[in-house]
Amino acid sequence: MFKPTVGPIVGHTTTDHARIFLRGDRDNKLVFAGIRHRRKGETNWSKGQFVQLEPHRDMSDVIVLKGLQANTYYEYQAGWFSPLSPTHTVATIQELPLQWPRTLYCLRTQDAENHAPRAYIVGSCRYLRITAGVPSLPGLGDRIFAGINRIAALADPPISAVLMTGDQVYLDDLNKLAPDRTYKSILFKYRTVFSQPHIARLMSGVPTYMMLDDHEIEDNWPANRTVNDDVLYANAMSAYELYQASHGPAHELRHDGTINKALNRYWYTFAHGDIEWFVTDSRTQRNLSPDNRRILDETQEQALLHWLVHSRARVKFVVTSVMFYPDSKRNDGDAWQAFAEQRMRLLETLRHGRIKNVIFVSGDVHGSMTSRLRHSQDPEFEVNTIVSSPLCNSRLLPFAKASDFIFDAPLAGNDSGEYHYELTSNVVSQDNFARLHVTAQNVQVSFHDRNGSLLQTVEIGLR
């Protein structure tokens, strides 16, 4: 057996199962991929689980490890091979005397305790330019993941998940000068980005959850969409579904433990004890018409509102690839600032429902910060936001700074009062990532530079 050409990537992981993505290769033969696992410290391996790899999925697939125990470390091995006989099936290869790749990977299932402290890594916007099929200085984009790995190795509690909140790839290199538009070039970019050594090490051991933003398609999508972009969109979303959505919770798990590969939407939810996440799709279902302008389609908005009102989670994180607030002095029509009516509906639902401990998490702006939103006539109302971006900036793009945002005017208002926000951290204007530590009392947000060194820490109190 050979090592995966991309992966393994540990995706959605619960107390009793883990989804693992891996890619083999194509040599015009029958190709299978497999994984076997064991509890750390044990000597006997499980029976291997196998899947046949298909060209229409770029020789990749997801294998589900089932029947796991909560809060337990598991070692696993992963690989792919072509059997000598073309008549083999997933069932018959179980009996072959396979030589597994020697690399050992390790993952941890989620803690079943409802109130356990938990930690997360959040980041977005990882730039890697590829020109004429050659990556330009790929180590620059991968360096920060070495820093994340150092933080993860020492984390107490262990990192429950990595949230990648958009622009994991930049298909529009140099924007109009050299964008990736063909399916072949888009797939090559994904393989290159996700197979760099430090990010590969991170994703092989820590559950990673992903959501797309515009550069997974095209800058400021769909505002810049043209009649010639239909093929681009189809190619970009097919690759996104394979490499980012396939191992996430948007795919339902069938009763037999297999994944339903039909994908009806890109937004999803997941929970760790009394902490829940709603990861929105704030990119592909936008309506830019003036009479019904929305960043989330109606179905998703209603699902989000229902979740906010009815979820019994103590802490609710809402991930939106573009900023919920603060507003930018340069309103380019891309963030929630340009969808004021829909944002107001969310805020009024939170305020009238007395919903506490809601934190919006986003990226996009190439600057990191925390800020707090309050209401002029309702002292009980409070909503916080955490912005974490970029993991690796392009040398051609500026970093955000505090002076780029509007802090001297209300965010919104109506007859019942005004929503005002304040910056609760410094604005980080360099490559960085955020570590969230959720306890019974607060969410501690620490921003780290690309080496993993601490830049600043902010505490968001829970009520």
Last residue of one domain, picked from the residues 59, 77, 108: 108
Do 27 and 104 fall into the same domain? yes
Question: What is the average per-residue pLDDT within 48-66?
Answer: 96
Strand ordering across the sheet containing 442-449? 208-210, 159-164, 118-123, 432-438, 442-449, 454-461
Structurally, the chain folds into a number of domains equal to 2
Say if residue 85's pLDDT is above 80.
Answer: yes
pLDDT tens digits, 426-461? 999 999 999 999 999 999 999 999 999 999 999 999
Q: Mind listing the pLDDT tens digit for each residue in 339-370?
A: 999 999 999 999 999 999 999 999 999 999 99
- Give tens-digit pLDDT for 225-239: 998 899 999 999 999
Range of the domain at 85: 6-108
- For residues 209 and 129, state if they share a domain: yes
* Residue 429, SS3 per DSSP: coil
Residue 95 shares a structural domain with residue 144: no
- Which of 201-205, 243-247, 252-256 is predicted least confidently? 252-256
182-198 tens-digit pLDDT = 999 999 999 999 999 99
CATH number of the domain at 359, please. Answer: 3.60.21.70
Last residue of a domain, one of 54, 87, 108: 108
Helix then strand then coil, in percent of the chain rounded to 5, is 20, 30, 50
Among 160, 154, 137, residue whose Cα is nearest residue 15: 160
Six-digit token string for 398:
């500026």
pLDDT beyond 80 at 180: no
